[in-house]
Amino acid sequence: MPTNEELFARARRVMPGGVSSPVRAFGAVGGTPRFAAKAKGAWITDAEGREYVDLVGSWGPMILGHAHPEVVAAIHRAVDASPSFGAPCLPELALAEKIVSMVEPVERVRFTSSGTEAVMTAVRLARGATGRDKIIKFAGCYHGHSDSLLAAAGSGVATLGLPDSPGVTGGTAADTLVLPYGRLDLVEEAFAAGGDLIAAVVTEAVPANMGVIVPPAGFNKGLREICDRYGAKLIVDEVLTGFRVGPTGYWGAAGRDEGWAPDLLTYGKIVGGGLPMSAVAGGAALMDLLAPAGPVYQAGTLSGNPAAAAAGLATLELASADVYSHLDAVSVQLRGLITDALSEAGVPHRINNWGNLFSVFFTGDQVTDYESAKKQDTAAFGRFFHTLLDEGVWLAPSSFEAWFVSDALGDRELEVIAAALPKAAHAAARG
Ligand code: PMP
C-alpha cells in the first residue's frame, strides 16, 4: 500500500502543487495531505487505511454524511440511464422545481457546475440587466476564482496569504470595489461617489471563507435598501450556506423575517449532493434575461447533469427538519467541547457561529471582518490541526475555513473528538 507521502510526491510530479484545489495541499499547516480512499457516514479512510472522523464533508456538500445509501442509489439510477445527455432531462427539471418550491423569491433556476460559475453568471446577469460595469465585494468573502471576484478573496487566497492573483487584468480588477465587511456606511459612500456605475453588490449570506463572520444586525437588509436606491442588483451567495444552516439557508432562516429579498441567489455544494452542480436563482424578470430567453449568454456542456441533479434532489429531500435539528445539536456539543479544551489549556480563542456553521479563531479578540480574522495565531492552529489529525479527526487544514457538521455524526464520533481535543489544545498552547 503506497503511503500518503509517496502519493503526494507522485502527485506533485504531474499536478501543480500535487492537488486540484490549493487548500488541500496543507500549505498553511505543513505536512502531507492525506489521500482519501473512501468515506462512509461520518468517517473517511485515507490511502494508508487510517480512519478519521470527518469535519469537512467535502467542504460542505455531505450534509447527510458520506455515501448516504439513498443518495448513492439515486446516482446509480441516473447513471444507468447515462451519465450525461447534453439535453433537457427530468432530474434537472425536478431539482429546479424543488428549489423554486423551497425558496420564495426564486422563480427560475439556471444550473451550472461549480460555485465559481454560478457567481460569475450572476455577476454577468447583473451587469447585463443594469448596463453598468462595477461590482462591490467584501474583503475576505470568497465567491470562487473568476477574474472579477478574486480581489481580497477569502478561502485559499486567505489561507495562503496571496496578494491579488497574477493573471487578472488591471481592467477587470478596477471594476471590482472591495470594501471591509459589515460597514454599511462605506457601502453608502461608494454608491454616493459612483452609484450609477455599480451593477451589483455581491456578498456571502453569512461569510464563512475567512472563518465564519456573523453579519451585523440589518447588514444584508441595509445592502438591499442601498441597492434599491441606486438601481443596483443584490447578489446573495449561498453556495456554502444554502440548505446547510436551515432548510433553505440564510435566506430562509433570517432574510424573509426581515422582509427583504435578494435579486439573485447562488447555490452549490449541497444542491449537487457531492457531485459537481451549482445554480443561479432569482425572480423571472431578471433570470429570463439569460439566453435563450434573453440576451445574456451563459452555457455549459455538462450543465444540469442528470447524476448531479439526482444526487442534489435526493439530498434536499432527505434533509428534513430532524436533520437540521441534529446538525444544530451536534454543532452546539462540538463547540462546547472545543471551547472547554482550549480554555482549559489556556489558549485564547473565539468561536463564531451561524446556526450549525462555525469556525474557531485562535485569538482572544472579537472577529468581525477580514482584518480581525487575519490577526489569529495560525501557527497555534497548525499544531492543533496536526494533533487532531494524528488522533483521527479530519478538519479543514486552515483556520480561515468553516467546520462542517453532518447528520452522520453521533455519540461515537463525538467521543473520538472529545478524547482528542485536550491533547490538541495543549499542543496549540505550546508556542
Ligand atoms: N461562493 C462561496 C460562498 C463559496 O464558499 C465557494 C466555495 N467554497 C464558492 C463560491 C466557489 O465554489 P466552487 O469551489 O464550487 O467554485
**Which DSSP string do the residues of 102-139 spell out, in sequence order?**
HSTT--EEEEESSHHHHHHHHHHHHHHHHT--EEEEET
DSSP designation for 99: H
User: Separation of 411 CA from ligand 1 center, angstroms?
Assistant: 31
375 is catalytic: no
Give the Å distances, CA to CA, from 136 to 72, 140, 189, 327, 370: 40, 13, 12, 33, 16
Q: In the β-sheet with 134-138, what is the strand arrangement from edge to edge?
A: 108-112, 278-282, 264-267, 233-237, 198-204, 134-138, 176-179
Among the options 269, 324, 377, 407, which is catalytic? 269
**Domain map of the chain by residue range?**
4-63+320-429, 69-318
Say if residues 47 and 7 touch (Cβ distance below 8 Å): yes
Please tell me whether residue 85 adopts helix, strand or coil conformation: coil
CATH class in words for 69-318: alpha beta
User: Separation of 418 CA from ligand 1 center, angstroms?
Assistant: 30
269 is catalytic: yes
Distance CA 80, CA 306 (A): 10
User: For the ranges 139-143, 160-164, 191-195, which has the lowest average pLDDT?
Assistant: 160-164
The yes-or-no verdict on residue 163 having pLDDT over 70 is no
Task: Tell me the mean pLDDT in the region 401-405.
Answer: 97
390 is catalytic: no
The yes-or-no verdict on residue 154 having pLDDT over 90 is no
Among the options 52, 142, 230, 324, which is catalytic? 142
The yes-or-no verdict on residue 125 having pLDDT over 90 is yes
The yes-or-no verdict on residue 155 having pLDDT over 80 is no
Task: Answer yes or no: is the C-beta of 142 below 6 A from any ligand 1 atom.
Answer: yes
Task: Tell me the mean pLDDT in the region 397-423.
Answer: 98
User: Separation of 374 CA from ligand 1 center, angstroms?
Assistant: 20
Task: Answer yes or no: is the C-beta of 144 below 6 A from any ligand 1 atom.
Answer: yes
Distance CA 138, CA 159 (A): 17
Q: Choose one of 56, 62, 137, 240 to mutate for the ligand 1 pocket test, by most ligand atoms within 8 angstroms of C-beta.
A: 240
Task: Answer yes or no: is the C-beta of 239 below 6 A from any ligand 1 atom.
Answer: yes
Task: Tell me the mean pLDDT in the region 68-93.
Answer: 98
Query: According to the model, what pLDDT value does residue 256 have?
Result: 61
User: Nearest 5°: phi and psi at 133?
Assistant: -105, -35
Q: Is the C-alpha dihedral spanning 208, 213, 218, 223 positive or negative?
A: negative
Q: In the numeric block, which cell numbers belong to residue 159?
A: 489561507
Among the options 46, 237, 263, 369, which is catalytic? 237
Same fold, 4-63+320-429 and 69-318: no
Please tell me whether residue 304 adopts helix, strand or coil conformation: coil
Task: Tell me the mean pLDDT in the region 235-254.
Answer: 85
Distance CA 38, CA 264 (A): 36
User: Separation of 57 CA from ligand 1 center, angstroms?
Assistant: 14
Query: According to the model, what pLDDT value does residue 188 have?
Result: 98
Instruction: Judge residue 121's burial from the number of C-beta atoms within 10 Å of its C-beta, 0-12 exposed, 13-18 middle, 19 or more buried.
Output: buried
User: Separation of 276 CA from ligand 1 center, angstroms?
Assistant: 12
Task: Answer yes or no: is the C-beta of 237 below 6 A from any ligand 1 atom.
Answer: yes
The yes-or-no verdict on residue 361 having pLDDT over 60 is yes
| 251 vs 423: which has the higher pLDDT | 423
CATH fold of 4-63+320-429 reads Aspartate Aminotransferase, domain 1 (3.90.1150)
pLDDT band at 254 (very low <50, low <70, confident <90, very high): low
pLDDT band at 259 (very low <50, low <70, confident <90, very high): confident
Q: In the numeric block, which cell numbers belong to residue 257?
A: 423575517
Task: Answer yes or no: is the C-beta of 115 below 6 A from any ligand 1 atom.
Answer: yes
